[in-house]
Amino acid sequence: MRVNFTVNGRPQEADDVWEGESLLYVLRERMGLPGSKNACEQGECGSCTVRLDGVPVCSCLVAAGQVEGREVVTVEGLADYARQRVCGAEKCDTSAKSDTLSQGGSPTWHPKPTDSQTGEGTELAPIQQAFIDAGAVQCGFCTPGLLVAADEMLEHNPNPTDADIREALSGNLCRCTGYEKIMDAVRLAAARQGEAV
């Protein structure tokens, strides 16, 4: 079957999709977007987390046919998504958006990727930069899912408590078990977000 949907702001068409195929498979194998990771395939690990019409979901548990006509944001589109959110640009997807960040004409965030190879020359989302700066990437496998989940939390909860962060990330497993640095990274992103406003 054919599936038409929007990925990271671009209309996409996937052909010859098997009816039992997951959104994750379509993203990785048909769209060339391997950022969303394939690990448990049962919603246990959260490494395949994407935004579906703004809502964080495990893409391994969404049937490809269910995304027809809908909007998906993957980790590859996270920097754009975060930038548009801060700009309050018209191109922003309005679903599930919080106004808190665009209020008060907050300035556009400019990344300063000076201390890492990864971010060199590329604009990163604030949460991505915070993960690098806090050393929260570690082996990196769980990172994309954590970034999507953490970014969504900071969107509607700019001043999270540690309990809020733990709950928001409770569906994302890190087998390096370096959760403390991940917590640091989210706290850092929240603090920077607060300074920017």
Partner 1 sequence: MDFLRPASWEEALAAKAEHPTAVPIAGGTDVMVEINFDHRRPEYLLDLNRIGDLYEWEVGADSVRLGASVPYTRIMENLRGELPGLSLASHTVASPQIRNRGGVGGNLGTASPAGDAHPALLAAGAEVEAESVRGTRLIPIDEFYTGVKRNALAPDELIRAVHIKKADGPQQYSKVGTRNAMVIAVCAFGLALHPATRTVRTGIGSAAPTPVRAKAAEEFLNAALDEGGFWDNGRIITPSVAKQFADLCSAACNPIDDVRGTASYRRHAVGIMARRTLTWTWESYRGTDGRSIEKGSVA
List interacting residues with partner 1 (CB under 8 A): 1, 18-20, 22, 41-44, 46, 49, 55-58, 60-63, 65-66, 68, 149, 167-168, 170-173
Instruction: Output the smallest distance, CB 113 to partner 1, in A.
Output: 29
Nearer to partner 1, 60 or 125 (CB): 60
Nearer to partner 1, 55 or 139 (CB): 55
29 Cβ partners below 8 Å, 6+ apart?
A: none
Question: What's the gap between Cα 18 and its chain centre?
Answer: 26
| Cβ atoms of residues 177 and 122 within 8 Å | no
Instruction: Output the smallest distance, CB 12 to partner 1, in A.
Output: 18
Nearer to partner 1, 68 or 180 (CB): 68
| Cβ atoms of residues 70 and 12 within 8 Å | no
Which secondary structure element, helix H or strand E, spans residue 151, and what is its range? Answer: helix 143-156
Instruction: Output the smallest distance, CB 4 to partner 1, in A.
Output: 12
Instruction: Output the smallest distance, CB 62 to partner 1, in A.
Output: 6
**What is the SS3 assignment for 7?**
strand
Instruction: Take residue 197 and report the two structure tokens written for it.
Output: 């406003």
